[in-house]
Copies of this chain bind each other. A is one copy, B any other.
Amino acid sequence: MPHPHEHLTRSPLFQDLAPHDLDAVLAAARRHAVRRGDVLFRQGEPAHIVYMLTRGEVKLTQIRPDGREVVLRYVGPGEIFGGIAALGHGEYPVTAEVAEAGETLTWDGDALSRLMERYPRIALRALRLVIDRVHELQERIVELATQRVEQRIARALLRLARKTGRKVQGGILIEMPLSEEDLAEFAGTTLYTVSRTFTHWEERGIVETGRERVLIRSPEGLEAIAEDLATSDNPSAF
Contact = CB atoms under 8 A, between A and B. Distances in A.
A124 B124 contact: no
25 contacts: A70-B141, A70-B146, A72-B138, A84-B134, A87-B131, A88-B128, A88-B132, A88-B135, A89-B132, A93-B135, A94-B138, A113-B124, A116-B120, A116-B127, A117-B121, A117-B124, A120-B120, A123-B123, A127-B127, A127-B130, A130-B134, A133-B134, A137-B141, A141-B141, A141-B188
Identical chains bound together, number: 2
Given A70-B141, A88-B132, 18 more contacts: A64-B146, A70-B146, A84-B135, A87-B127, A87-B128, A88-B127, A89-B132, A93-B135, A93-B138, A116-B124, A116-B127, A120-B120, A133-B134, A134-B137, A137-B137, A137-B138, A141-B141, A145-B188
Interface size class on chain A is 35 or more
A51 to B, nearest CB: 15
Contacts of A62: 138, 142
Contacts of A94: 138
A39 interface: no
A29 interface: no
Scoring A62, A127, A130, A137 by chain B CB atoms within 10 A of each residue's CB, the highest score goes to: A127
Nearest to A189: B145
Given A88-B131, A117-B121, A127-B130, A144 B188 contact: yes
Interface of A: 62, 64, 66, 68, 70, 72, 84-85, 87-89, 93-94, 113, 116-117, 120-121, 123-124, 126-128, 130-135, 137-138, 140-142, 144-146, 188, 228
Contacts of A146: 64, 66, 68, 70, 188
A17 to B, nearest CB: 14
Contacts of A144: 141, 144-145, 188
A236 to B, nearest CB: 20
